[in-house]
């Protein structure tokens, strides 16, 4: 922000002052010098060259990482690993006003459970919306494992728009995974519990009355929202459901969900029973649960679902009768199930097995068509033969967890938690190709668009847990470690470690940056959380304060560098709503808003309207101000909320004056004339080139013209006061003229720089 002032004042003062040039007597360091000084190897330099992104350059891919216990999403660039944003999802986040303005509070309120606010989440698996199995960059979904919820983020503005609460689970894990056209977002349960809400059932009745399931949330792309009434679940036995994936290509229409603890063991270490971990891994196998979701959706339409907590549920009995649910044994305590890009195979990794198992969808369909079942589970669900369903099994190492895919055919990468390695292998041929040691306890890993039908290859990122020893110590709680790996060659190369200090990310997804086209401003008066016109939309000149009983509504606007109104007077006990509209059109001219001690904050990006609401329950004087350093006169972007005692009668008197003289007034006029010269020269440049071809510049020019138009009224007031020799008013209104000029000049200079950097051409 300081540079802006410098640009303007610098330009104003440039004439006649000349510039001092500093020279240096020091010799430049060579690359060899730096290598020696910092103890870097050739390999280090190579890695640096692959990840270093020069100032001003952008990343090829954008990663969206779960923020684990922070309840947020972390956005960073690849290969630079520069963090770009934290997206507030389940947790209040003041910078974005999330949970501090009324509109975002309404989003968080959608996530209330049993009437109570839940202001955190355990986010695990982000998923980008897909079109025909390819990332389309429009929406992002993420789950909350702790409190079974799912959120929708719109990638047009990177804001959370919706939170839905799973109506039948008490925890969930196998979400969010999208079907190939994002018709449904999959969310599987985790720890079994009775499906009916707030129903107590003793653990002794675990097998009979506890259940799990998979939920299919219907997504309406046009509205950008999930439709709970068109969503449904398929009931599953009390096996702990785990990760899921949607079929694609030949397997489109099906979904796959792992389970652990199909022993249905109930622990109780405090009662002398062996703990869950012993009882839940006793058997050699658990089950992969296969569901034909397309058929399930038809069954729901045909009225074959029952209602539980007002939600469509296809019972196990119905699912078995209709032939949409099957089980296949998988090596015990599996974790990830990842469908290959061609949709032909499902790759399952067992935490306690050194193999990955590659299941063949074709073989499975053959068994189902032939009605060849090995057995039935205790709930009557047909169990297919594991041996007959497998394409191959490959021994990779200890603790395989998750698998991602390369742009190269048949190439997969699997994380090995216990070995702390990444295995590169060929799932068609069933052979290991390469292994790379990573830092520590790798959980998920992700390659660019690596779970879509069209993986981009190039980079793989290992999400390591508990980054012991790796970074400068910051106390007993360590950051996590995301490691960037180059996968463009036969051998993997480790490039970079990035500490992530915001919860424990589980999964992340990386998308080609050019698929993301976020907006830089809103249409004036937009409620960004509902994508509609805000009731509090206020245009310049419409600012007002309305009172109805003790309800006070303030319709305010913000534009550099003032908030209108600048004084808000209310009485103790009034309910105050302040609607704030940012009238700027230039990008990045964000204002913030807070009122001292009322625990409220809003971030108001250009065009946005938000509201803050509070009860003025205490008398006093409370400054409000803009919280974003938006302009040279940002600190002056202020006002007072005056909370008066009930029935207060004003005593009269007038505001303090400064005794300006005619001399002051003349100095100000000179400043105004100098600045106008700068503006004229900048405008001369801009209109001399094809600026209309640059929408960002047009927006800046609109704002600049806005500012300049306001000088007329201020100048008229200044002139009128000068005619009456009221130098105080004459000078202050002339100062206001200069304020408008400075902002116009600032915008003009930004526009000029932009045009110069983006190859604007002179017009003939």
Of ligand CUK, ligand CUA, none, which one sits near residue 444, judging by CB under 5 to 8 A according to partner kind?
Answer: ligand CUK
Pairing type for strands 225-236 and 311-314 reads parallel
- Identified binder of ligand CUA from the candidate list 630, 632, 641, 737, rule CB under 6 A: 630
Pick out residues in 591-610 that bind ligand CUA (CB under 6 A). Answer: 591
Of ligand CUA, ligand CUK, none, which one sits near residue 634, judging by CB under 5 to 8 A according to partner kind?
Answer: ligand CUA
Residue 461 binds ligand CUK, judged by CB under 6 A: no
Q: Which of 577, 762, 615, 622 is nearest to 687 (CA)?
A: 762
| Torsion of the alpha carbons at 358, 359, 360 and 363, rounded to the nearest 10 | 140
CA distance 417 to 313: 36
Question: Any residues with CB less than 8 A from the CB of 590 and at least 6 apart, and which?
Answer: 582, 603, 604, 605, 606, 628, 630
Q: Which of 749, 760, 719 is nearest to 736 (CA)?
A: 719
- Identified binder of ligand CUA from the candidate list 299, 460, 626, 686, rule CB under 6 A: 626
- Identified binder of ligand CUK from the candidate list 149, 156, 161, 173, rule CB under 6 A: 173
- Identified binder of ligand CUK from the candidate list 125, 156, 161, 743, rule CB under 6 A: 125
Residue 154 binds ligand CUA, judged by CB under 6 A: no
Shortest reach from residue 213's CB to ligand CUK, in Å: 18
Residue 482 binds ligand CUK, judged by CB under 6 A: no
Shortest reach from residue 468's CB to ligand CUK, in Å: 17
- Identified binder of ligand CUA from the candidate list 81, 314, 364, 637, rule CB under 6 A: 637
> How many C-beta neighbours within 10 Å does residue 94 have?
18
State how far the alpha carbon of 568 is from the alpha carbons of 448, 556, 586, in Å.
52, 10, 28
Of ligand CUK, ligand CUA, none, which one sits near residue 401, judging by CB under 5 to 8 A according to partner kind?
Answer: ligand CUK
CA distance 300 to 22: 76
φ/ψ (deg, to 5) at 350 = -105, 125
Shortest reach from residue 480's CB to ligand CUK, in Å: 11
Q: Residues 415-454: x/- map of binding to ligand CUK (CB under 6 A)?
A: ----------------------------xx----------
Q: Which of 711, 708, 700, 694 is nearest to 749 (CA)?
A: 700
Pick out residues in 95-124 that bind ligand CUK (CB under 6 A). Answer: 124
Residue 709, sorted as left (phi over 0), alpha (psi -120 to 50) or beta, turns out to be alpha
**Quick one: tokens of 338?**
């990842």
Q: Residues 400-419: x/- map of binding to ligand CUK (CB under 6 A)?
A: -xx-----------------
Residue 335 binds ligand CUK, judged by CB under 6 A: yes
Residue 339 binds ligand CUK, judged by CB under 6 A: no
Q: What is the DSSP string of 38-68?
A: HT--HHHHHHHHHH---TT---SEEEEEE-B
Shortest reach from residue 418's CB to ligand CUK, in Å: 13
Of ligand CUK, ligand CUA, none, which one sits near residue 742, judging by CB under 5 to 8 A according to partner kind?
Answer: none
Residue 101 binds ligand CUA, judged by CB under 6 A: no
Q: What is the 3-state secondary structure (H, E, C) of 204-265?
A: HHHHHHCEEEEEEEEEECCCCEEEEEEEEEEEECCCEEEEEEECCHHHCCEEEEEEECCCCC
Considering the complex, state which of residue 625 and residue 660 has its C-beta at the smaller distance from ligand CUA: 625
Shortest reach from residue 444's CB to ligand CUK, in Å: 5
State how far the alpha carbon of 520 is from the alpha carbons of 84, 127, 155, 156, 627, in Å.
15, 23, 12, 9, 20
Residue 710 binds ligand CUK, judged by CB under 6 A: no
Of ligand CUA, ligand CUK, none, which one sits near residue 630, judging by CB under 5 to 8 A according to partner kind?
Answer: ligand CUA
Shortest reach from residue 627's CB to ligand CUA, in Å: 7
- Identified binder of ligand CUA from the candidate list 335, 439, 521, 634, rule CB under 6 A: 634
* Count of residues engaged in binding ligand CUA, rule: CB under 6 A: 7
Let me know: does 192 contact 212? Beta carbons within 8 Å: yes
Q: Give the binding site for ligand CUA (CB under 6 A).
A: 591, 626, 628-630, 634, 637
Footprint of ligand CUK (CB under 6 A): 124-125, 173, 243, 335, 401-402, 443-444, 506-507
């Amino acid at each position: 922000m300081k540079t802006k002032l410098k640009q303007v004042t610098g330009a104003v003062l440039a004439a006649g002052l000349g510039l001092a040039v500093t020279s240096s007597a020091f010799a430049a360091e060579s690359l060899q010098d730096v290598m020696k000084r910092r103890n870097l190897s050739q390999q280090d330099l190579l890695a640096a060259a692959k990840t270093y992104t020069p100032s001003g350059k952008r990343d090829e891919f954008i990663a969206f990482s779960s923020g684990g216990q922070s309840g947020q999403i972390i956005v960073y660039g690849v290969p630079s690993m520069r963090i770009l944003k934290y997206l507030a999802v389940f947790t209040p986040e003041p910078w974005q006003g999330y949970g501090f303005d009324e509109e975002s509070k309404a989003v968080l309120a959608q996530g209330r459970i049993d009437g109570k606010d839940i202001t955190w989440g355990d986010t695990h698996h982000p998923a980008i919306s897909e079109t025909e199995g390819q990332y389309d960059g429009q929406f992002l979904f993420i789950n909350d494992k702790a409190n079974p919820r799912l959120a929708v983020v719109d990638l047009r503005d990177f804001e959370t728009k919706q939170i839905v609460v799973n109506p039948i689970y008490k925890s969930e894990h196998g979400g969010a995974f999208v079907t190939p056209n994002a018709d449904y977002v999959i969310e599987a349960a985790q720890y079994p519990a009775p499906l009916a809400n707030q129903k107590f059932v003793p653990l002794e009745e675990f097998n009979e009355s506890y259940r799990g399931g998979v939920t299919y949330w219907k997504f309406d792309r046009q509205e950008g929202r999930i439709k709970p009434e068109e969503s449904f679940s398929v009931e599953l036995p009390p096996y702990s459901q785990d990760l899921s994936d949607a079929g694609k290509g030949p397997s489109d229409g099906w979904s796959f969900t792992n389970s652990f603890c199909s022993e249905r063991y109930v622990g109780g270490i405090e009662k002398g029973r062996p703990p869950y971990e012993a009882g839940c891994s006793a058997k050699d196998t658990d089950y992969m649960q296969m569901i034909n979701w397309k058929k399930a959706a038809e069954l729901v339409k045909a009225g074959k679902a029952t209602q539980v907590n007002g939600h469509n549920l296809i019972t196990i009995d119905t699912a078995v009768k209709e032939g949409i649910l099957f089980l296949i044994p998988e090596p015990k305590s599996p974790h990830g199930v990842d469908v290959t890009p061609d949709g032909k195979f499902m790759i399952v990794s067992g935490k306690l097995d050194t193999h990955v198992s590659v299941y063949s969808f074709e073989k499975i369909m053959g068994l189902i068509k032939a009605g060849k079942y090995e057995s039935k589970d205790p709930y009557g669900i047909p169990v297919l033969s594991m041996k007959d369903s497998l394409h191959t099994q490959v021994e990779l190492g200890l603790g395989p967890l998750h698998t991602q895919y390369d742009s190269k055919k048949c190439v997969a990468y699997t994380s090995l938690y216990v070995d702390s390695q990444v295995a590169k292998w060929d799932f068609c041929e069933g052979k290991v190709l390469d292994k790379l040691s990573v830092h520590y306890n790798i959980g998920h890993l992700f390659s660019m668009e690596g779970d879509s039908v069209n993986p981009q290859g190039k980079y793989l990122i290992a999400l390591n847990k508990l980054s012991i020893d790796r970074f400068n110590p910051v106390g007993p709680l360590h950051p996590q470690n995301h490691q960037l790996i180059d996968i463009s060659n036969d051998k993997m190369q480790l490039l970079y470690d990035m500490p992530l200090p915001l919860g424990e990310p589980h999964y992340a997804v990386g998308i080609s940056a050019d698929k993301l086209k976020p907006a830089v401003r809103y249409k004036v008066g937009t409620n960004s959380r509902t994508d509609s016109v805000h009731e509090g939309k206020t245009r310049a000149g419409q600012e007002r304060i309305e009172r109805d009983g003790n309800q006070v509504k303030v319709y305010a606007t913000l534009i550099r560098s003032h908030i209108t109104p600048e004084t808000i007077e209310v009485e103790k006990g009034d309910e105050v709503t302040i609607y704030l509209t940012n009238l700027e059109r230039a990008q990045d001219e964000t204002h913030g808003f807070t009122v001292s001690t009322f625990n409220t904050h809003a971030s108001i990006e250009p065009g946005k309207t938000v509201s803050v609401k509070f009860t003025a329950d205490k008398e006093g004087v409370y400054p409000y101000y803009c919280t974003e350093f938006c302009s040279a006169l940002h600190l002056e972007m202020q006002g007072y909320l005056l909370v008066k005692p009930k029935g207060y009668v004003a005593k009269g008197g007038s505001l303090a004056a400064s005794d300006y003289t005619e001399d002051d007034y003349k100095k100000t006029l000179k400043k105004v004339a100098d600045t106008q010269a700068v503006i004229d020269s900048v405008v001369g440049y801009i209109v001399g080139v094809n600026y209309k071809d640059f929408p960002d510049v047009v927006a800046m020019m609109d704002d600049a013209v806005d500012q300049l138009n306001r000088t007329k009224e201020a100048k008229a007031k200044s002139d009128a006061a000068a005619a009456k020799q009221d130098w105080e008013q004459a000078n202050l209104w002339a100062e206001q003229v200069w304020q408008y000029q400075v902002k116009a000049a600032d915008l003009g200079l930004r526009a000029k720089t932009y045009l110069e950097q983006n190859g604007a051409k002179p017009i003939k």
